[in-house]
Amino acid sequence: MQKCVVIYNPNSGKLSNQNEIKKVYKILENYGYETEIVYTKCKSDATNITKKLKDVDLLICAGGDGTLNEVISGNIQRKKPILLGHLPLGSVNDVAHMYGLTNNITKNLVMLLNGVAKNIDVCMINNNPFVYVACIGAFVDISYATPRKLKEKYGRLAYVIYGIQQLKQNMHSYNIKYTVDGVERESEFSFIFITNSNRVGGVNNIYDDVKLDDNKFEVLLCNIKNKKDILKAVYYLKRKDISNLPGFVYIKTNNIKLEFDKTPPSWCIDGDELPHNNNVFEITINKSNNMLLPIKNLNKLFTENKE
């Protein structure tokens, strides 16, 4: 039999029912896998577990977007990366919804095992991978600073509640030099939004045509200064494509260098905090990860869909 390891983040919930766990074992056994479930205990655990695994044919991440980030981080550091799969258990699960997965664990597992292995673009910011989003500026701490008790009680609504509470915070702008394909420009921005996804924060179709194998990611730079600017951006967003918003700079590229005039606060990558002591950041793409994906959205997400 082939070997499958499931890295499970118990803080994400949902897989705590013993019957559910038995179903996972049984389904994988039916598809020819001997299975081991490994529980994470702290931050970065999934990364360290992934790096040390031996003789594994399939590695499944059971957790939220942040846990998937950790698994991919560990996989990139391996000499021989493992084929990955993702079972979403978090609050928002942007990546999973983009892949075409549902809220049903056993259904998702069957879709993965009947799916196709695809090579995916993974963005890197100063060699730190992010699967679908990296942002910096006002309000980006909402995803990781929202209290866990609030998330457990209200689910996705917790982020809205916490965000409203944070509207009083000041918005800081930075003078930023940004270099794309050797061309340098400079301007003032308060918010930077880098994605490789058509869904972020539970909002679908952020961009019209996102591909996971085109060696490109999307960059949005803006200078929102106050609540009035936020409302104006929301107004335009309802009427225009996000890549054509007034006062925003949109770039589609496979490399960008950002140089801040002063050290900015932490980045938010895949919903978690990335602390740093830098003011220069280079974003590139890594191509070493293969992901087992359901057939459902392949035509939409890949330029080359060879099943």
CATH no. for residue 23? 3.40.50.10330
Q: Which of 27-41, 189-203, 271-285 has the lowest mean pLDDT?
A: 189-203
Most confidently modeled range among 71-75, 162-166, 171-175: 71-75
Q: Is 45 helix (H, G, I), strand (E, B) or coil?
A: helix
How far CA 44 is from CA of 40, 66, 68, 131, in Å, comes to: 9, 10, 11, 15
Per-residue pLDDT tens for 23-41? Answer: 999 999 999 999 999 999 9
Contact 282, 103 (CB under 8 A): no
Is a pLDDT exceeding 70 seen at residue 141?
Answer: no
Question: Rounded to an integer, what is the distance from CA 233 to the centroid of its chain?
Answer: 23
Is a pLDDT exceeding 90 seen at residue 111?
Answer: yes
Q: What is the total count of domains within the chain?
A: 2
d(CA 162, CA 139): 10
138-156 average pLDDT score:
51
Per residue, the 3-state secondary structure of 96-156, as one string, reads HHHHCCCCCHHHHHHHHHCCEEEEEEEEEECCEEECCEEEEECCCCHHHHCCHHHHHHHCC
Confidence grade of residue 277 (pLDDT, cut at 50, 70, 90): very high
106 and 134: one domain?
no
265-279 CB burial, b ≥16 within 10 A, e <16: eebbbbbbbbebeee
Query: Which residue from 284, 293, 287, 126 is spatially nearest to 217, judged by alpha carbons?
Result: 284
Which domain range does residue 241 map to?
Answer: 128-286
Q: Is residue 297 part of a domain?
A: no
Q: Which of 41-45, 66-70, 148-152, 258-262 has the lowest mean pLDDT?
A: 148-152
Contact 65, 197 (CB under 8 A): no
**pTM reported for the whole predicted model:** 0.84
> DSSP code of 82?
P
195 and 73: one domain?
no
> DSSP code of 81?
P
29 and 82: one domain?
yes
> Count of CB atoms within 10 A of residue 118's CB?
20
Query: Which residue from 120, 135, 112 is spatially nearest to 33, judged by alpha carbons?
Result: 112
| pLDDT at residue 156, as a whole number | 43
d(CA 82, CA 292): 11
| pLDDT at residue 193, as a whole number | 87
Is a pLDDT exceeding 80 seen at residue 247?
Answer: no
139 and 103: one domain?
no
56-67 average pLDDT score:
94
Confidence grade of residue 168 (pLDDT, cut at 50, 70, 90): low
Confidence grade of residue 18 (pLDDT, cut at 50, 70, 90): confident
CATH assignment of the domain containing 174: 2.60.200.40
220 and 84: one domain?
no
| pLDDT at residue 254, as a whole number | 95
Is a pLDDT exceeding 70 seen at residue 77?
Answer: yes
